[in-house]
Structure 1
């Protein structure tokens, strides 16, 4: 009987256990909720949530939502994310419950790792497990890139936000801001940007993105775009957007170099990273799948252009980056940047590899590193609906790499509310409305009018603007004191018609000069906006220095009045031009034009044929020519100004081919000739060694012409450093009918100066440059061989002014110090050849104002 009871007892226990397990299986533990940042209230994606003490877990989605489900007697969950304090919460097993988590930032910064032992150990790469791990990451980089897939596609949302930052309460409460209080926003005073912020700009984009490995192709279709828009009379909105997007480019940690503020910073997983970084294993995370190792990294030399921070590496054989936090050391030679913080998150693909799902780059700029107002900027990018190896039709990849849908900027607020994949913070929610309200305040419009006058140089009168102010007055030996007044129409008058004019008068030559032009835009856009498509007719009667071609500045700028040496050989020009310029979305462009040019000698210059003291004076050279120029600048971007459009230097080359054809007998033209010129320019980024701007140029002139129609090489007798001119060459010193040139300007970004203690704190940057010009004049164009040609100019005492390059190349080089007061570059220039020429300087000091980050 006892035996039977024992059997029943055992059976009962088994049945009860089975029932308990069944009950448990029928009632799994389900935890769900939303994870947010406790300070900003923003949702946080990619946060790890696990049952505490286990490897069972999940990650929050792009909206910060998570769901964790399993059967078992689990009593706690653990929530963790890089840079935040881990949170452990109690749960009820077998129940479905909602637990929202607000994570607090962990403000502890890893400044250095100290190993305490009987003897201080020197950091070494050899035998260092952290370095061995990073070498595995480097070895597996290619397989973890998106480019390793045959096909990939995803939807992308990006948001850029800028505000005036770190504003004091005294500043905020000034009387002048009485009407602007609705603009100010407050945040945690310890956050990047400080307590008081004044939002000034925001831009959002939604796009579909496609990638194909072979043939290599990328395509971005922008489906919706929205941005703050200022009055076009004061701000060029497209140019502003281009500039901000250039500053805040995509961050790809798998690239060897990451572009930040037009500088390249070596990635912590670059091929050569162990040479420049120190790596330390901080933690091994075993409560997630796959297991992770947290690596901290810091520059070996804290003044080098490098990051510091931490990365989480997967231990599943992929050695992929799952999360990364990037910052910069306070000693880095990066202008105006007070703080920088980038967070990268990655999600697992179906094949077990990872793709980036979110990046958040925050930067705070200021003139003073420690205090005072500045500018705070943030760019957030989120990727959703990521698909791999889904082949798309070839037609998708045709045309430009980026296209904008027809109604992209016409979507209403309901559309954005439904389609944003990253919610707006309270700081950002009202930016569009507030800036619109701001522009209706009269005092703000008056302030912007003054700012436009000071920065762009024009005074706006709605339909017409007067300027630029820096040309109102200058002086030179031919005209004496020169006064000029001019201006141009604005889009307020018409978006298709533009008129520009000026008048000038010289007190010495007592002659009037003038210019008029009329431009018609063929694509109903500003003539300065990309892609350009316009026709222009113009007439100019004015003076000019032969061969002086300046870029992006007016030749009668007051500051260029100051010149070294003799400067009395000028021209009076009458120039009629008709041009058609057309750009295409792939950045190929052409221009065709007609030019009727009459040039007369002025000042100490003369046009005379024959030899000896006799000869025949030529009053005017008449030229009629047609011109064609082809230009290809792949992926070129511009900064759009009120006066001109400035290309932003980049790693992509720019090709230019120009052809001029002189027409003898047509409308009074005196000469038949053909002139072919080609140019290639490119910026080479050299990682830790900065960058080099390299340009090569060559030209050949076919036909018999006087020296005034040859290539008069670009000389510079001002004290301003001109990067594309020869700074120790005299005006009119060299002419050629065939030539080749190379120009190299290397900026080391402080790589060497940062190693010198006395120079390190000054944030100076070293620069070297070299220019060489080969050329010559064929016998048929040398006036010594043909008396009918115009003589090369000489001074009154018979000293030659103009020479050929038949005795070898002209060469000059310079060494310079840049970033003086963060905006000045000063070069010591040395001329290496043709030193026997009259008034040929061997050395010179030149200065250039250039703003760099």
Structure 2
């Protein structure tokens, strides 16, 4: 499961009302009708206020009753506006220009100059006195962290309330509220509170979080959703050049990079926590880039940022997110150290960016306290446990939360628990939840047995023709200690049944000792990956593609049995020892895997029987997982490197196996986030087989004759165009995230993304393996020069489509060589 799939499924569920004491919203304009961005709007005689956005729009609410708001901005006369009722929306407020009383303040509209701008002069002092986060200024640190996560469904109107889909759930609208940032009505559907003790040691670069308590309601049995929400967030340092979320890097307005990215305006000055501070407003110089708009307050003596608000630009090239809003507050310990004490994050998800479209709020509030420094703990304290369910943390009493919350839940938040606990017991809600679950996972839940995946029901290839597949798995919960999966398939052309079955059992949670095994008999396109797969039921898209380039006439029948034992002695380090037995024979007419069985090369066989013993080491530093059953959910997919090392031994004496050999394989994959330049992925594969082996056991350089993207394949290569027993390959792909398209006026609004790629492979084959081959297939190898190809593409077409054009770089003299290929890929990406 990926995060985008969860989000898309949630959009299927809901749509929303609210009451607070005072609400006001509208737009601020000047006498000429131009909007006034970043104007101050406060309830009169209070400290409760907000700032109009770059379009002059604002929304403000309070749990107290007020009858007047005050609107001000330097260069304009301050204006009081009386409120006629408790809810005052769609106001249009006109400010009159006047000469500024502060000689040193200059008012800018549009792009601001970099020289002579007082806001930038202040910003330079911030850089010169750049703060260091307090937890990294000491050898050791510890603090408590209280985190509150919410998922809300927003934009309620009468059409939503009266929709038949909510029959039997009408009571939920009594719990709707108004969002303090956007002014939209919303209905909470999930809340999670957690309390952690955080320890760190900067001398050994270690950090550990101990969960003291966790409480949630709404989807409380779905840990995938909880991890999905938590997986969005990261720690932000506004002084760094980039702020990362959703695998995107946004330029920080406080960084030295900001001067080329943002316009800055000195807008106000006031006391903040008894410190005189300047207010600086910022907004992007260009549209469609990954930027914010907002303001921050800077102290006039320490030049430290005291508060900051950041709101993503509406035109920012990020999908499914209408707005991200961030607030942070800091305590400054001294002239060189600051500590964050409050962090608020809100994302407004939607299928489109229209202002009034419905969507989902994802909110996070973090409070920090009880900082302690330089209390050393032994290095063994930081060793991360492989198994750490912390069950007691999920069963804390109400008294525990009353004593340990760093801020009280308000009335509406307390009601969330009651409402959601009731909601999850209604039949109408559970019907909606089941639909979303099927869309997200591809499985239909059937009381301990899930049918699916439904997306694999239909397939096609030249041997089987149209193919139907039916399968399922056992599933009692995320932390099942055992699981069985299986399927059956039927090809209408070859009139044959195929099947696969596998099972795994978790014997020891602490070391994650797992035994697994399975058997599969099927028709498959071999040679679509260089590195061996350990999934007995795995089958590539090439085996069932409805549309192919050229003839797909090199399919094989495989009977594969596997047994393995694996364990995780250290966190994210897995050791797997396994054995397998394969029977491989041609499935396509005219395709041969034949090999000579005698030294005189007079006898041949076309069926390969092979026993193999393998040892596999896998290391995934930085990987985060959820659950502690036989299968775990990866929380931060595509964010951590993977190192895979395999040593396999082919044994001729076991079960009448045909060949002795040794095979060594290495795989390395590294995602790379390159600041404002986008996101890259680099993978390297290398391998060598010692011993003479036939075509069916050689390492085939993976081609791709489909029109769909397949990981680490070469789209301009045909199947079996190159075969090797020694190889080295590299794949590099980069997504610029629209950095250049955003500067082209005609393309800017499309939010397209530029893609480039490069792939190369070198390989060779021993004379012994050549001599035993009797297949008649040319055994070509890219041993003189590495084969290479490059690609350019456009991503984010209609937000879901990516198209790449691939160009062959050499070996054009190979018969039927393709110099050009097109592939497409569908998916939900931010």
TM-score (norm 2): 0.82
1:772-851 correspondence runs (5 A): 772-781=760-769, 783=770, 786=771, 789-791=772-774, 793-794=776-777, 800=778, 802-851=779-828
Structure 1 residue 389, shift from structure 2 partner: 3.5
Match of 1:363 among 323, 336, 347: 347
Structure 1 residue 734, shift from structure 2 partner: 1.4
Structure 1 residue 231, shift from structure 2 partner: 8.0
Higher mean displacement: 179-188 or 277-286: 179-188
> 1:338 matched to which residue of 2?
322
Change (3 A) 1:453 1:310: closer
Equivalent-residue separation in structure 2 for 1:556 and 1:595 (angstroms): 23
Contact 1:166-1:195 within 8 A present in 2 as well = yes
> 1:323 matched to which residue of 2?
307
Contact 2:483-2:630 within 8 A present in 1 as well = no
Higher mean displacement: 105-114 or 499-508: 105-114
Equivalent-residue separation in structure 2 for 1:405 and 1:111 (angstroms): 57
**Does 1 or 2 have the higher relative contact order (CA < 8 Å, sep 6+)?**
2
Change (3 A) 1:688 1:185: farther
Alignment partner of 1:348 is 2:328: no
SS of corresponding position for 1:560: coil
Structure 1 residue 346, shift from structure 2 partner: 0.9
The CA RMSD measured in Å over matched residues stands at 3.7
Match of 2:608 among 621, 634, 642: 621
> 2:8 matched to which residue of 1?
none
> 2:617 matched to which residue of 1?
630
Alignment partner of 1:746 is 2:734: yes
Contact 1:592-1:627 within 8 A present in 2 as well = yes
Change (3 A) 1:598 1:41: farther
1:718-757 deviation per Cα after TM superposition (whole angstroms, max 9, x unaligned): 1112242112211121111111111111111111011111
TM-score (norm 1): 0.80
Match of 2:124 among 130, 135, 145: 135
Equivalent-residue separation in structure 2 for 1:367 and 1:595 (angstroms): 46
Contact 1:681-1:694 within 8 A present in 2 as well = yes
> 1:50 matched to which residue of 2?
none
Match of 1:150 among 139, 159, 179: 139
Equivalent-residue separation in structure 2 for 1:125 and 1:244 (angstroms): 39
Alignment partner of 1:568 is 2:553: yes
Alignment partner of 1:605 is 2:587: no
Match of 1:579 among 564, 569, 589: 564
Change (3 A) 1:493 1:848: closer
Contact 2:241-2:255 within 8 A present in 1 as well = yes
SS of corresponding position for 1:449: helix
> 2:56 matched to which residue of 1?
none
Alignment partner of 1:303 is 2:288: yes
Contact 2:176-2:188 within 8 A present in 1 as well = no
Alignment partner of 1:459 is 2:444: yes
Task: Give 1 or 2 for the bigger CA radius of gyration.
Answer: 1
Structure 1 residue 361, shift from structure 2 partner: 0.8
> 1:486 matched to which residue of 2?
471
Contact 1:343-1:360 within 8 A present in 2 as well = yes
Equivalent-residue separation in structure 2 for 1:40 and 1:568 (angstroms): 72
Change (3 A) 1:431 1:675: farther
Alignment partner of 1:168 is 2:160: no
SS of corresponding position for 1:407: helix
Higher mean displacement: 622-631 or 111-120: 111-120
Equivalent-residue separation in structure 2 for 1:842 and 1:101 (angstroms): 70
Higher mean displacement: 366-375 or 446-455: 446-455
Equivalent-residue separation in structure 1 for 2:506 and 2:591 (angstroms): 39
Structure 1 residue 852, shift from structure 2 partner: 1.5
Change (3 A) 1:616 1:140: farther
> 1:535 matched to which residue of 2?
515
> 1:83 matched to which residue of 2?
50
Structure 1 residue 566, shift from structure 2 partner: 1.0
1:178-200 deviation per Cα after TM superposition (whole angstroms, max 9, x unaligned): 21122235666574465442322
Alignment partner of 1:214 is 2:203: yes
Structure 1 residue 565, shift from structure 2 partner: 0.9
Structure 1 residue 524, shift from structure 2 partner: 6.5
User: Unpaired segments of 5 or more residues in structure 2?
Assistant: 1-18, 24-43, 53-62, 77-94, 100-105
Alignment partner of 1:771 is 2:759: yes
Higher mean displacement: 813-822 or 222-231: 222-231
Higher mean displacement: 482-491 or 126-135: 126-135
SS of corresponding position for 1:272: helix
SS of corresponding position for 2:545: helix
